[in-house]
Amino acid sequence: MMTVDKYLRRIGYDGSQEPVLATLQAVQKAHLTSVPYENLDLLYRRECSLAVEALYDKIVNRRRGGYCFELNGLFAWLLRQLGFQVTEFFGRWLIGESLAVPKRRHRILRVDLPEGQYLADAGVGRVCPLTPLRLEADAIQEREGVHYRIVAEPVHGWIVQVEADNGYANFYSFTEDPQQAIDFAYPHYYCATHPDSPFLVKTLVHLATPQGRNSVADAFDPETGLKARLFRIGQGEGKVKEFLVRTEAEFQAGLRDYFGIDWKG
């Protein structure tokens, strides 16, 4: 049975359920600091359904994570159950992309409130705003010490930007064409099956914590000359513990200890 209360327990949230801005901010932060971004099902070619019942079972019942189509798909369900007005959009992931106009493969949410419209996104596998950004052109918005802004552009529509060393870098973009859940089936199929999909070739595991960001990525092992996995674990005060794991058993143990993922590869 799918219940809001069990979902909120999963993300460690016990505050107000009133559909107001403060609730939206707190629920998104709780989600991003409890549910990891991870592509393990895609990487290991496991079945990966976007049906809300399957997402609830995976993320809430089995305490797994997911990637943007999964995380924001279920997050949209939660917000609607709480009474928020939610519209879903396709996004183009821009940061780190070589193409000026890459394909659309990001799912984001707009939440309409009396204070304005906000972008809610619980499905980003890197440093990102822990609370929603107001959809307002050119306004500088600070989150966790990082500055963001949203600018209008003829081709991309809205571009969310993040402050970088030399100005602002394009993060992701979207146009305000409302999407239904079924519309995400074909980009999800690309991500899950196409040989060019980045989700099929590299390990992506991330989780924001009060001590800093935890992550796992593929790495080269200088001792063996073979592929390994690098864990980077936040220790607080900007300190990070790094270690390589070389076996599947070590990988599984790290996922349990630092991300709460019970995984059998």
CA–CA gap between residue 161 and residue 200 (Å, rounded): 27
Bridge partners, 158 (sequence order): 152, 174
Tokens of 144: 């966790």
* Other C-beta atoms lying within 10 Å of the C-beta of residue 58: 18
Task: Establish whether 206 is a catalytic residue.
Answer: no
Active-site hit among 31, 41, 106, 188: 106
Task: Establish whether 147 is a catalytic residue.
Answer: no
Phi, psi dihedral angles at 213 (to 5 degrees): -95, 130
Euclidean distance between the first and final Cα of the chain, in Å? 27
Closest among 54, 32, 15 to 213, alpha carbons compared = 32
Active-site hit among 31, 41, 48, 68: 68
| Cβ burial, residue 221 (10 Å; 0-12/13-18/19+) | middle
Task: Establish whether 257 is a catalytic residue.
Answer: no
How far CA 16 is from CA of 22, 24, 25, 119, 164, in Å, comes to 9, 10, 11, 20, 35
Active-site hit among 121, 156, 188, 206: 121
Q: In one letter, which amino acid is 15? A: G
Catalytic residues: 68, 106, 121
